[in-house]
Amino acid sequence: MNLLLIKQISILSALAGAAVGIIGMIPFIGGIAFLLMFLALAAFVLVFMKQKNMIGILDYKESAIYGAISGFVSFIAFSVVYIPVSSLIGLIFKTVSFGILRSFFTSFISFVVMIMLVFFIAILAALMNAFAGVVTAYVYEILSGFKKQENENIDFEIR
């Protein structure tokens, strides 16, 4: 695994997750953006990196790992932006849709439960985006015709 590539994927995913967190405040568009982030942000990140020549030929295993990292980091960044801002909007305007998150800030235990919910949903986002990463690698393999060569197995005969 290339550590620099993982850092670049993490930074791009965090920026995309924060952008979706800001867009998430818009009622109808926010839901669609959240769904795309939750299911297929890794595909967008990998395609962007492929267009900028930041990434080479992808293996299925590598693309699954990159997709999982992208999904996990993007959901954490989304939550870091969306939860405080929507709670502040709920405090200012006393709306029901944004006011639900205020209940997580009433006690320490509810705050811990919110952090656990964010963490476990981020794991689900990682799973979905790992699949999206594998699909992206498969589509690139079909379109380009290039396949990453694996180490060939050599059969030894010991006598």
Residue-wise pLDDT tens digits, 54-98 = 888 888 999 999 999 999 999 999 999 998 888 888 778 776 666
Mean pLDDT of 91-106: 68
Cα distance between residue 58 and residue 98, in whole Å? 41
Helix, strand, or coil (residue 24): coil
* Residue 152 within a domain: no
Q: What is the pLDDT of residue 101?
A: 66
For residue 2, pLDDT beyond 90? no
Cα distance between residue 57 and residue 6, in whole Å? 15
* Residue 12 within a domain: yes
Mean pLDDT of 111-130: 92
* Residue 11 within a domain: yes
User: How many domains is the chain built from?
Assistant: 1
* Residue 105 within a domain: yes
State the residue range of the domain holding 77: 3-144
